Structure 1
Amino acid sequence: MGEVEKKYAYTTLITRASYLAGVIILAHSLRKQGSKYPLLVYYTNGLKQDAVRALELEASRLNLILRPCDLLLPRADVQVHLIAERFGDTWTKLRVFDCTEYDTVCYLDADMAIFNTNMDSVFSKADQLPHDWIAANHACVCNLDKDEWAPEDWTKENCAYTPISHPDALTHPTQGKPDSRPTYHLLNSGMFLYHPSKVLWDDMLDFFNTTDKLGTYKFPDQDFLADFFRNRWLSLGWQYNALKTMRYWHTNIWRDDEVVCLHYIVDKPWAARVGADGAAGYKGRDGESHTWWWREYAEWMEQRQAGEGDEVLDIVSKYVASEDGSENSDPDMRAIGSKVQAFAGNKAPGASQKDDSSASQGEQGNASGAHVMRKKHLGEHGHGPVVHPNGRGKMPL
């Protein structure tokens, strides 16, 4: 008998309708580049019904498998200190580890898109990945914009991308070792490859429920994964999680035509049109990469206009910037646009904290900079908390 073919998939998470266009174009670009594998779309129970409807309409067209899920939030006694409000419900990303019917899965954030070539090549790393490891990319810690929230050791010299060069960086990225400098142990959780299993999922939930470190994490799921998988993660080439800022921060490795998966960190391209002067993005430097996203969106629109896609076009168009460049009135859309300071007002643990209800919401959450998530312990059998419709931890949509 021949060897049984491995079962692979991609996953993503959406908790807010403001990320609908991101999920659609992620799926569109995966399919366009020839991916053979489905995209499992985890969505929380509070996602707006029109966004759910759009995903249902696109499921057969873009090879989506929809998976409703509850929010995942820390236990009641945990006081979290987040860099930005937008990270408040990204703990839920950990739920993607429960898809144990697959041998290997690649998680992709909803603010990513695939360019130039097939992303399926990432699964070639699966066989060299131990069952309780993940493969991921380092966090870029250059902090060239001198954001005040960043730790003192977040410098160009301490970034794992600084000592490598093109073209070796594609195949021989910096690998962290137990005795590596602290910043080399930090990963970016926008993309990671993993082997789902009940044992791994149960271990993660146990750590989530019992560790006293949750309150120290500035980037919830990202810091959790770096801690949980410390000395158990394999570094991948930058091309699989190409942060848009690396285009001008890491010219030592970046080449436009070698990007596989582009990660639109901070503000999202669909929240604002590229200016007539070519400016786009949080600092105005992302016109080129944002233009790539808008080209994919235009292509997707043309395909739906040629078929029976009026309903999904009407829905998705509510969650992208209008052609006249006017600002979307939806507060969630404004929260992911270029005019919003993504890290405004949040202090490090130990600093003076105050509740500011006017602070910007963001990525897929609106937790304040420091507050208590008053939720019960995770449920039995690893299914997580039951989040009731009017529960305090529910993120409004």
Structure 2
Amino acid sequence: MASNGNGVKQNGDAAENGDGWYDPTKIWTTLLTNRAYFGGLLVLHHSLRRHRSKYRLHVMVTRAVEEDTEYMEAFAAAGIPTIVVDKIEPAPRDGKINKGTWEKLAPWSFTQYERVVLLDSDQVILQNIDDMMEVEIPEGWIASTHACTCNPRKLPHYSKDWVPANCAFTAADQATGAPAAITAQSPNNHHLLNSGTVIVQPSEKQYEDLIHAMNTHPDVPNMIFFDQDLLAIVYRGRWKPLPYHYNALKPMRACHAGLWKDEDVKILHYILNKPWKSRKYDENDTIESTHGLWWDEFAKVEREWTESEDARKRELWRSVVVPVVAQE
């Protein structure tokens, strides 16, 4: 077990395992703060392995998760190394704290790696994505995909300027998927990113700048998307837009039908309702039919665990996975 000097403990290594050699200089990572997303993590991990990534997935877990010994045993049974991160949250404002997933900022401090790609555990990998580890990024920058600001569900707490005309994906190259360039003349929404996929080049200075902004920026108390909103502010003019293929938000299959091509999607992101909440979904619905891809991957995971010769692994499936994944 090692520490990187920022209150981060790491369990497991990035070397030889049953799936072959992993490059230890770069990693994928995702954050889990409770048991609810464990099914999602297993699918993310399995799909990365199935598409033969040469980089390993490490899951960031909070101190509360670390104390859940059965849960930590389940990570080990899955072959997923854990990185225990300290709580990250903004300084109180008027006695109130904007509680959220601020621990997603921790990878900026993982300076033992040349590159970290932050993923969300409600994603499934549909093609090999190792090319993300080679994307050229200027020093002090990050890379991510635009946020979709169409707001097709007309959610009232979203900004009033979240309409299709202002969405960066409307301005993308509809034939190739190439993202719209971000310029000084771009609509404000084009400066917004979705933190489901972020390429990070760890840096103590960048990490310190993020924490300083989190503790001092006047917009923080009212942020809805937490780390995502903060990244858009701190890296305004300093983030490289990636094609939607690397973070295809499932509603975009309908609201950006002219852009979306199933065969080009590399990472499918199940924002809003999660597939593991129900095994029933409308196979004829443009958006909900994508849940079938998640369940196909989950079926492979399920067989791997339930048919394992390891009795303890089968027990952990029943006690950790079954309670958080719909059984019908």
Both structures adopt the same fold (TM-score exceeding 0.5): yes
Distance in 2 separating the partners of 1:80 and 1:141: 28
Distance in 1 separating the partners of 2:72 and 2:112: 24
- Detail structure 1 runs of 4+ shifted over 6 Å in the superposition: 79-82
- Match of residue 13 from structure 2: none
- Match of residue 320 from structure 1: 325
Distance in 2 separating the partners of 1:141 and 1:287: 19
How far is the alpha carbon of 1:40 from its aligned partner?
1.8
Whether the 8 Å contact between 2:91 and 2:97 is mirrored in structure 1 is no
How far is the alpha carbon of 1:285 from its aligned partner?
5.4
How far is the alpha carbon of 1:6 from its aligned partner?
8.6
Whether the 8 Å contact between 1:244 and 1:286 is mirrored in structure 2 is yes
How far is the alpha carbon of 1:39 from its aligned partner?
1.1
Q: 2:131 aligns with which of 121, 124, 127?
A: 121
- Summarize the alignment of residues 46-65 of structure 1 with structure 2, pairs less than 5 Å apart: 46-47=64-65, 48-59=68-79, 64-65=80-81
Distance in 2 separating the partners of 1:12 and 1:313: 21
Whether the 8 Å contact between 1:106 and 1:193 is mirrored in structure 2 is yes
Offset from partner CA, 1:128-147 (integer Å, 9 cap, x none): 20221110011101112222
- Match of residue 335 from structure 1: none
- Greater mean deviation of Cα atoms: 130-139 or 299-308: 299-308
- Match of residue 32 from structure 1: 50
Identity in percent: 34
Pair 1:8–1:213, CA change in 2 (3 A): same
Pair 1:15–1:110, CA change in 2 (3 A): same
- Structure 2 unaligned blocks of 5 or more: 1-22
- Match of residue 150 from structure 2: 142
Aligned residue identity for 1:290? H
- Summarize the alignment of residues 1-397 of structure 1 with structure 2, pairs less than 5 Å apart: 7-47=25-65, 48-59=68-79, 64-77=80-93, 88-115=99-126, 117-125=127-135, 128-169=136-177, 172-275=178-281, 277-278=282-283, 286-307=287-308, 308=310, 309-314=313-318, 315-322=320-327, 325=328
Pair 1:176–1:202, CA change in 2 (3 A): same
Q: SS of the residue aligned with 1:106?
A: strand
Whether the 8 Å contact between 2:123 and 2:270 is mirrored in structure 1 is yes
Distance in 1 separating the partners of 2:231 and 2:133: 20
How far is the alpha carbon of 1:216 from its aligned partner?
3.1
Q: What TM-score do you get using the length of structure 1 for normalisation?
A: 0.71
Offset from partner CA, 1:12-70 (integer Å, 9 cap, x none): 100010011111111111011110111121101112443222112112xxxx3211122
Whether the 8 Å contact between 2:63 and 2:84 is mirrored in structure 1 is yes
How far is the alpha carbon of 1:210 from its aligned partner?
2.5
- Match of residue 19 from structure 2: none
- Match of residue 338 from structure 1: none
How far is the alpha carbon of 1:163 from its aligned partner?
2.5
How far is the alpha carbon of 1:310 from its aligned partner?
0.8
Distance in 2 separating the partners of 1:114 and 1:312: 24
Aligned residue identity for 2:130? D
How far is the alpha carbon of 1:81 from its aligned partner?
9.3
Distance in 1 separating the partners of 2:101 and 2:220: 13
- Structure 1 unaligned blocks of 5 or more: 83-87, 326-397
Whether the 8 Å contact between 1:105 and 1:196 is mirrored in structure 2 is yes
TM-align CA RMSD? 2.0
Offset from partner CA, 1:122-161 (integer Å, 9 cap, x none): 1221xx2022111001110111222211212111111111
Q: Work out which structure has the larger RCO, using CA pairs closer than 8 Å and 6 or more positions apart in sequence.
A: 1
Whether the 8 Å contact between 2:105 and 2:227 is mirrored in structure 1 is yes
